[in-house]
């Protein structure tokens, strides 16, 4: 499968409208919240189920997660989705990947790894870590230390 065909949105198989909010959250979702010590509120459980309920990593935007939650009839507002994603990041459950300084994606895979950003359709996918070689970083300015490094490789489809 071409990496560009992977959508940064919630896997449709995870969204089963018939489950609604009454379905019992998966073990993945409850364990995921539990390992960070987050209180499992209804909203957090609903969003965690969409994010990790099938045990797979994914990249989402707040808007795509909100739409998936609406399709599942989860009673969450867009503001709640943003606040919950930020709480998940602060708890170490997700990482935020910023593209263009204004567009944020949230990744359930928290290990350091590079990303491909597909300019044509706004998709964010994982890039192979084993193919990236960074031999040296510049020295941090006096009194500073490097906190993190994000590698986002921008791609566009060839017009052959």
Angstrom distance (rounded) from CA 66 to CA 84: 11
The pTM assigned to this predicted structure is 0.79
Walk me through the domains of the chain, giving residue ranges and CATH numbers: 3-99 (1.10.10.10), 109-155 (no CATH)
* 28 — pLDDT class (breaks 50, 70, 90): confident
In percent, the amount of the chain with pLDDT more than 90 equals: 62
Does residue 143 come out as left (phi exceeding 0), alpha (psi in the -120 to 50 range) or beta?
left
Residue with tokens 């309920």: 53
CA distance 60 to 109: 11
Per-residue confidence (pLDDT) for residue 24, from 0 to 100: 66
Contact (CB, 8 A) for 135 and 121: no
Position 1 confidence tier, pLDDT thresholds 50, 70, 90? very low
What pLDDT is recorded for position 27? Answer: 81
Task: Specify the pLDDT at position 21.
Answer: 44
């Amino acid at each position: 499968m071409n990496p560009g065909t992977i959508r940064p949105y919630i896997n449709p198989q995870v969204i089963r409208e018939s489950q609604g909010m009454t379905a019992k959250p998966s073990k993945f979702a409850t364990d995921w919240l539990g390992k960070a010590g987050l209180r499992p509120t209804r909203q957090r459980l609903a969003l965690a189920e969409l994010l990790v309920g099938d045990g797979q990593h994914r990249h989402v935007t707040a808007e795509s997660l909100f739409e998936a939650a609406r399709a599942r009839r989860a009673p969450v507002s867009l503001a709640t989705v943003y606040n919950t994603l930020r709480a998940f990041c602060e708890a170490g459950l997700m990482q935020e990947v910023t593209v263009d300084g204004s567009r944020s994606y949230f990744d359930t895979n928290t290990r350091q790894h590079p990303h491909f950003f597909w300019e044509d359709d706004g998709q964010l996918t994982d890039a192979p870590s084993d193919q990236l070689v960074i031999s040296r970083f510049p020295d941090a300015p006096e009194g500073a230390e490097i906190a993190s490094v994000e590698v986002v490789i921008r791609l566009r489809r060839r017009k052959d």
